[in-house]
């Protein structure tokens, strides 16, 4: 249900990215709209979260930290492929409290070969919001 879409990182090294096929993207959109958009995330989480009451983007995130003596910016190397299907399952079960079989089905729908695939737009929307 994925197409390989090779890309390059800023340093020129290869990045394995995947694009979900149309039918799977539709499922991801439903997961996002029915489950993830209902979650109220704490304000200390800033990236990739749709929140009309407290909009969160890089500009607002920078504003929160303006004037601080120290600012640390961290990027998790290979965040998506380093996130295992087991961790995804834990989120569906622990955070969302789905029964095991439902969580397992959702994990299968949102992971590829045991990891979170990088590149599909809906993954950023799904897992940046929930991680």
Condensed to tens digits (0 to 9), the pLDDT of residues 88-120 reads: 999 999 988 999 999 999 999 999 999 988 875
Whole-angstrom distance, CA of residue 47 vs CA of residue 59: 11
Distances (CA, A) of 131 to 3, 21, 126: 24, 23, 9
Is the model more confident about 78 or about 126?
Answer: 78
Whole-angstrom distance, CA of residue 123 vs CA of residue 93: 18
pLDDT digits (tens, 9 = 90+) for 5-52: 988 888 998 888 999 999 999 998 899 888 888 888 888 887 777 788
- pTM score of the predicted model: 0.75
Whole-angstrom distance, CA of residue 131 vs CA of residue 127: 5
Pairing of strands 14-15, 2-4: unpaired
Q: Is 121 helix (H, G, I), strand (E, B) or coil?
A: helix
């Amino acid at each position: 249900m994925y197409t390989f879409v090779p890309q390059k990182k800023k340093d020129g090294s290869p990045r394995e990215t995947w694009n979900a096929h149309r039918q799977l993207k539709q499922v991801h959109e439903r997961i996002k709209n029915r489950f993830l958009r209902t979650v109220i995330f704490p304000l200390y989480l800033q990236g990739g979260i749709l929140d009309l009451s407290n909009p969160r983007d890089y500009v607002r995130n920078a504003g929160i930290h303006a004037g601080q003596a120290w600012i640390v910016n961290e990027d998790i190397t290979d965040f998506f492929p380093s996130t295992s299907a087991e961790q995804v399952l834990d989120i569906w079960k622990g955070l969302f409290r789905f029964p095991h079989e439902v969580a397992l089905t959702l994990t299968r729908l949102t992971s590829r070969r045991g990891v979170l695939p990088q590149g599909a737009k809906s993954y950023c929307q799904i897992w940046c919001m929930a991680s």
